[in-house]
Amino acid sequence: MKAFYTNNNGVIEIPKWNPDCWVSIQDPTDSEKKYLLEELQIPEAFYNDIEDIDERPRIEIEDGWTLIIMRVPIKSDDVKLPFQTIPLGVIFKEDICVTITFYKTEIIADFVSYSQRKNIEIKDNPDLVLRLLLSSSVWYLKYLKQVNQKIKLAEDNLEKSIKNEELQALLQIEKCLVFFITSLKANDVLFQRVKNLKAHKANYDLDLLEDVEIELSQAQDTANIYSNILTGMMDAYASVISNNMNNIMKQMTSISIILMIPTLIASLYGMNVPNGLEESRYGIWILLLVSIILSVLGVLLFKRRRWF
């Protein structure tokens, strides 16, 4: 999906490219790729770098072109990984500025809408990068709230019964948090590098820099808190499962010992040796009575020891 934006009391969409406008490309088609490489003549290496789902945030300059890659969060259709992060690249040179992401994301539309509500003007390309970093940090926090809701839901289900499905849900959430924490740390490093670019350092809006730093820090702290809570919860449930298993094994062992008593007596009575009861008409009943008495005594002993 291709869109062109320019400043006019916020960022508004225009029908075609103009110098100094912002070109937004999401999930590019072959024709849009051709437009970027042949008409705008952006470096193909930059385009391929952004296409790599595992590309890390960084800054690269080549032949006058500048590439800045950040990682932004998206909600995934994959049930096993409900949230993940993807690279969003900003490529600019003179009067050309392009953002590219190979996945559809809510961040761009939300950023455009927010800029119109607040009448935000984009001063230059680094200013756009900083505002996109700010917007991505806000969306990290939004998705982290949804992650927290999923943690609470899984916790409620686990309190009712410990099943593999609930434990797997927690593992999936933990994987999402790992992606978030790693990407936020990388975005923070990127922010420090962008902030210290000598060519643009004097033109930065100090309030904007402070906002980006605060939101990034808050997103990192929130992700770390949820990750620690989730880790502690999983450790607690692992201890509960282990304790339940120990109790079951203790009960099974106790039952085996109690069942062994009549088996042992019957085995001794059945041996082909004189025992004084082989001629008695009450021999079998005496053995049954002794077996029952010893079994009952065994049960009482185990209950007293709280092995049942």
Pair type for strands 11-14 and 2-7: antiparallel
Boundary residue ending a domain (242, 269, 290): 242
Does residue 25 sit in the same domain as residue 139?
yes
Range of the domain at 257: 249-305
Predicted pLDDT of residue 223: 92
Q: Which pLDDT belongs to residue 121?
A: 83
Q: Are residues 181 and 293 in the same domain?
A: no
- How much is the pLDDT for 287? 73
* Whether the Cβ atoms of residue 105 and residue 113 lie closer than 8 Å to each other: no
How many C-beta neighbours within 10 Å does residue 224 have? Answer: 15
> What pLDDT, on the 0 to 100 scale, is given for residue 274?
66
d(CA 104, CA 73) in angstroms, rounded, equals 11
List CB contacts of 220: < 8 A, sequence separation 6 or more: 181, 184, 185, 188
> Same domain for 152 and 122?
yes
State whether 89 and 165 are in the same domain: yes
Same domain, 95 and 188: yes
Distance (Å) of CA 76 to CA 43, 44, 143, 151, 266: 29, 27, 11, 17, 65
| Domain shared by 295 and 187, yes or no | no
User: Two tokens at 105?
Assistant: 């994301």
- The β-bridge partners of 70 are 88
Distance CA 186, CA 96 (A): 26
User: How is residue 104 written in tokens?
Assistant: 């559809």
Q: In Å, how far from its chain's centre is CA 304?
A: 47
Rounded-to-integer distance, Cα 43 and Cα 66, Å: 10
For residues 87 and 131, state if they share a domain.
Answer: yes
Do residues 116 and 11 lie in contact, with contact meaning Cβ atoms separated by under 8 Å? yes
For position 88, what pLDDT does the model report? 93
pLDDT at res. 160 = 65
Among 193, 217, 242, residue at a domain's last position? 242
At residue 135, the pLDDT reads 92
Q: What is the chain's Cα-based Rg? A: 34
* CA–CA–CA angle 22, 55, 180 (5° rounding): 95
pTM over 0.85: no
Q: How far is the C-alpha of 109 from the C-alpha of 99, rounded, in Å?
A: 13
Count of the separate structural domains present in the chain: 2
Contact at 8 Å (CB) between 265 and 286?
no
| pLDDT value for 295 | 74
- The pair phi, psi for residue 42, each rounded to 5°, is -75, 150
One digit per residue, the tens of pLDDT, for the chain of length 308 reads: 888 888 887 888 888 888 888 899 998 888 989 988 888 889 899 999 999 898 899 999 888 899 999 999 998 887 778 889 999 999 988 888 999 999 888 898 888 888 888 888 888 888 889 999 999 999 999 999 998 888 888 777 766 666 666 677 778 888 889 999 999 999 999 999 888 876 666 777 888 889 999 999 999 999 999 888 888 777 767 666 666 677 777 777 777 777 777 777 777 666 666 666 666 676 677 777 877 777 777 777 766 666 55
Domain boundary among 219, 242, 265: 242
Pairing state between β 65-75 and 22-26: unpaired
- State the Cα–Cα distance between residues 308 and 302, nearest whole angstrom: 6
What element of type H or E holds 73?
strand 65-75
Phi, psi of 91 (to 5 degrees): -120, 125
Q: Do residue 225 and residue 279 come from a single domain?
A: no
Regarding whether 265 and 127 lie in a shared domain, the answer is no
Picking from 182, 150, 154, the residue whose alpha carbon sits closest to that of residue 84 is 182
| 25 & 156 share domain | yes
Q: Are residues 131 and 152 in the same domain?
A: yes
> Which pLDDT score, from 0 to 100, does residue 214 have?
93
Q: Coil, strand, or helix at residue 118? A: helix
H or E element at residue 281: none
Are the C-beta atoms of 36 and 92 separated by less than 8 Å?
no
At 134, which CATH number?
A: 3.30.460.20
Are residue 283 and residue 298 in the same domain, yes or no? yes
Q: Output the six-digit token pair for 302.
A: 């185990």
pLDDT value, residue 182: 93
